[in-house]
Structure 1
Amino acid sequence: MKRTHGFTLVEMIITIVLVGIVGAILTLQIKPALQSYQSVARRANLVNQADTAIKRMVTDVRSAVPNSLNMTATPAGICMEMVPTVAGGRYRVEPDTTNPDASRAYDPGATDKVFDVLTALPNVARGDIVVIGNQSTDDLYKTRSNMAPIKAMTAPDASIGVVRVELETSAPFSARDDGARFVVVPQNQQVVGYLCAGGNGRLAGGDGKGTLLRTVRKLTDPGQCPTAGTPAVVASKVADCGFVYRESEGATQQSGYLQLRLGLANGDESVTLTAGAHVENVP
């Protein structure tokens, strides 16, 4: 008769105890490493979100129409709006000396609103808006006397210009730009805004309670940074959000300085980034 080999109850208990001790030791060693890894991942994600959001805002600001940056306190939060551009260039201010009848110079008092452009206009289409000589936010958001939508663009003789622009409206522009400059505003994104919605601070779990939104509206639409519809979320879990803009005075009044502050929080991890941007307000 063969003897059956196996584990005794005592051996099994000892094995279970040893495995438990080893598991507890491994847990004590691995748990902090896992927690540290998760914390680093959360922090890196917050830094990436904040950095991307600030860079996007600065990019929009630097491509905006001069003197279009506008700060407003709304019931939904702090609103920063601007009028973006997709192109720009210089227009002809005097007829071509060798072919004056064929060339078309810009005339603030003309009624046909056709003029030659001395630079190419990529990414510009019918309905986009030409802005000339903008001096203040009121020119854009209230009177709108220095802009007109594009009706058509043609290619004149290469010797007198690159593009001939025909505008929809016959109302004259209010002024001529000293540098013969103009910019073009896209018809589908006439006013872009950034809204610090939800306020600053944290929720009970440690996450930021606010949201940074990017809004779009037309120049004729009332209200700043509208929240109707579905504004794009630029950053979530916002714990601190603020914009400060100061225009220079005196001889340097055609420049300004914008300071952006964005703080994000996720649980016990948080990050706050600040950035500054010089704003060129030469029309």
Structure 2
Amino acid sequence: MAGGLRAMRPRGFTLVELVMVIVITGILAAVLTVFFRPSVDAYFDTGRRAGLTDMADTALRRMAQDIRRAVPNSIRSVSATCFQLVPTIAGGRYRMASDTVNDSGALPCTPSGTCSAPLDVAQTTTVFDVLSPLSITPAVGDWVVVDNQNAGDVYTGTNRAQITQVPSAPRSTDGQHRIRIGGTQFPQGYDGGRFVVVANAEQTVFYNCVGATLYRTVAGFGANQATVCAATTGAAVANNVAGCSFIYSPNQGATQQSGFVWMRLELSSAGESVALAHGVHVDNVP
């Protein structure tokens, strides 16, 4: 072929075509942003709200659990954002009188393998039998509390005694456990035969909001309330706290034996806020 074969040259984009592609891409990106950005933002906002709701709900449930297992009449409202209680780990009924059928010798006899051990509030007690099973066996150093009709009794120590030996098993007719305590005469005025056990490692618990954190602080019976509630120590139960309030009514209802705790917790993060409230009835019968 005359002139031979001529090689084909690749044809590129012109400047006008590049500009047109950039403009169209920008328009499409703007359109996509307008229509899809709200959905993306809503997705992340929903996730933040769900996280805040879960944290607030968990904190309220944690407080409600402690309130329900508190020593009767031990809840104290320190301030609008702080309250105190004495949590229990077990409880049951103690023997109130000697076993007139199975005890040997003259009654009352000295507690032994052949003699029961009643708890008599008219005299000092060092050992007593527990008639009911205990959900948790107390340890040496834990506290027995009887007849807490006044809020301050368990804190000042007028109705509690410390366990001195690991509970043992008495005769089958005497009950489930035999508990030895430091010599104590418990107050009279209540004959229900009930007692509760408080762990020595967790004598009293404060829930207090300090700044943006809700704390659960463990302290001793005689802890200074104002100092503890103003502190920032303890385990963080909830973060991002925007507001909290605790209201305790010790005498809710006609029987004057049922208290009520109202709790409100508001959490906020990145412009999202949730507020949950929860009420808990409190049995204040010792």
- For normalisation by structure 2, the TM-score amounts to 0.87
- Report if the CA contact (8 A) 1:192-1:214 is conserved: yes
Cα deviation for residue 177 of structure 1 reads 3.5
Q: 1:51 & 1:233 partners in 2: Cα distance? A: 14
- Report if the CA contact (8 A) 2:210-2:232 is conserved: no
- Report if the CA contact (8 A) 1:212-1:234 is conserved: yes
Match of 2:256 in 1: 253
Matched, 1:83 2:86: yes
Q: 1:267 & 1:105 partners in 2: Cα distance? A: 61
Match of 2:162 in 1: 149
Match of 1:180 in 2: 193
Matched, 1:45 2:51: yes
- Report if the CA contact (8 A) 2:125-2:185 is conserved: no
Cα deviation for residue 239 of structure 1 reads 1.6
Match of 1:11 in 2: 17
Q: How many residues align?
A: 267
Q: 1:28 & 1:250 partners in 2: Cα distance? A: 57
Q: 1:268 & 1:249 partners in 2: Cα distance? A: 38
- Per mean C-alpha deviation after superposition, the further-off stretch among 248-257 and 234-243 is 248-257
Partner amino acid, structure 1, of 2:197: V
2:141 to 113, 127, 141: 127
Cα deviation for residue 56 of structure 1 reads 1.0
Q: 1:111 & 1:147 partners in 2: Cα distance? A: 12
- Report if the CA contact (8 A) 1:146-1:175 is conserved: no
1:100 to 89, 100, 103: 103
Q: 1:111 & 1:260 partners in 2: Cα distance? A: 41
Q: 2:57 & 2:8 partners in 1: Cα distance? A: 75
Match of 1:25 in 2: 31
RMSD: 1.9
SS of residue matched to 2:81: strand
SS of residue matched to 2:238: strand
Match of 1:220 in 2: 222
Match of 2:265 in 1: 262
Q: 2:38 & 2:254 partners in 1: Cα distance? A: 59
- Report if the CA contact (8 A) 1:86-1:184 is conserved: yes
Partner amino acid, structure 1, of 2:98: P
Matched, 1:140 2:128: no
Match of 2:110 in 1: none
- Per mean C-alpha deviation after superposition, the further-off stretch among 129-138 and 229-238 is 229-238
- Report if the CA contact (8 A) 2:215-2:232 is conserved: no
Cα deviation for residue 8 of structure 1 reads 1.8
Larger radius of gyration: 2
Q: 1:220 & 1:26 partners in 2: Cα distance? A: 64
Identity over the aligned pairs, expressed in percent? 45
Q: 1:177 & 1:100 partners in 2: Cα distance? A: 26
SS of residue matched to 1:154: coil
Tell me: CA distance 1:69–1:112, structure 2 relative to 1, closer, same or farther (3 Å). closer
Unpaired segments ≥5 residues, structure 2: 1-6, 105-114
- Report if the CA contact (8 A) 1:90-1:182 is conserved: yes
Cα deviation for residue 46 of structure 1 reads 1.4
SS of residue matched to 1:170: strand
Tell me: CA distance 1:112–1:61, structure 2 relative to 1, closer, same or farther (3 Å). closer
Unpaired segments ≥5 residues, structure 1: 199-209
Matched, 1:158 2:172: yes
Cα deviation for residue 228 of structure 1 reads 5.3
- Report if the CA contact (8 A) 1:108-1:176 is conserved: no
Residue by residue, what CA displacement relative to the aligned partner does 1:34-56 show, whole Å, maximum 9, x if unpaired? 11111111111111111111111
Residue by residue, what CA displacement relative to the aligned partner does 1:115-163 show, whole Å, maximum 9, x if unpaired? 1001122322111100000011110223x11001111210011122110
Q: 2:256 & 2:125 partners in 1: Cα distance? A: 34
